[in-house]
Amino acid sequence: MKRLLTHPETPQIRHIRAAAEVLETGGLIVYPTDSVYGLGCDLLNKNAVEKIYQRKGNDKRKLLSFICPDLKEISEYAYVPDFAYKIMRRLLPGPYTFILNATKRVPRILLEKRKTVGIRVPDNVLCQALLAEFGRPIISTSATLAGQSFLCDPDEIADTFEHIAEIFLDSGPGGLEPSTVIDFTGDEPVIVRQGKGKL
């Protein structure tokens, strides 16, 4: 794994491009978000998504979320009810994961006997730069292995993912509080997990 020390506010474009190239070729990356460090791959690459499940040791019934640059792109991958749109517009970008009903654009491997997806728009400069360079949504699951607690120490993350990811965009110590998860698939919002995003 290549570890790139990346500035959190003004990320080096060569680092962003290197990570985007890994995503293009079906590889995995570790990158910071506005909550905890994430493990990511190209949302639309079935083999890459399969790799994440295998290498993390996750059951396919466990929801994998992905990041988008804005609310407009979310609507391509999920149905957003009017009441949800108003709330999301107020909260985004931020440390929130929204559970929504998926559109046909979401790969089947992500759905595994369900019709919902988890989508985020992180308030993080590096994430936004990566999304702009790559041009497609990126899987965002916490950079931890199954049964492991959240990791914030970059050295520990590097050791854990040495043989799992191709690139680690290291922007210093990460967070320990995951995103707040809100389910918008019913008639009113349900808080599934209270995390960093305050409500």
Query: Distances in Å between the alpha carbon of 97 and those of 8, 58, 133?
Result: 21, 19, 22
With CA atoms as reference, report the closest residue to 24 among 148, 174, 160, 166.
166
Q: What is the pLDDT of residue 90?
A: 95
Q: What is the pLDDT of residue 77?
A: 96
- CATH number, domain 2-193: 3.90.870.10
Mean pLDDT, the chain, whole residue set: 95
Q: What is the pLDDT of residue 56?
A: 87
The band of 174, judged by pLDDT with boundaries at 50, 70 and 90, is very high
Give the orientation angle of helix 13-24 with respect to helix 125-134, to 10 degrees: 50
Q: What is the mean pLDDT of residues 55-60?
A: 81
69 cis-preceded (ω within 30 degrees of 0): no
The band of 38, judged by pLDDT with boundaries at 50, 70 and 90, is very high
Per-residue pLDDT of 150-166, as tens digits, reads 999 999 999 999 999 99
Burial class from Cβ neighbours inside 10 Å (0-12, 13-18, 19+) for residue 158 reads middle
pLDDT reading at 11 higher than 80: yes
Q: What is the pLDDT of residue 196?
A: 95
Residue 128 CB neighbour total at 10 angstroms: 17
Q: How far apart are CA 152 and CA 143, in angstroms?
A: 9
- DSSP assignment letter at 149: P
Per-residue pLDDT of 58-83, as tens digits, reads 777 788 899 999 999 999 999 999 99
Stretch among 4-8, 86-90, 107-111, 134-138 having the lowest mean pLDDT: 107-111
With CA atoms as reference, report the closest residue to 106 among 134, 142, 70, 68.
68
- Written as six digits, the tokens of 81 are 């009810």
* Residue with tokens 């559109």, as numbered in its chain: 103
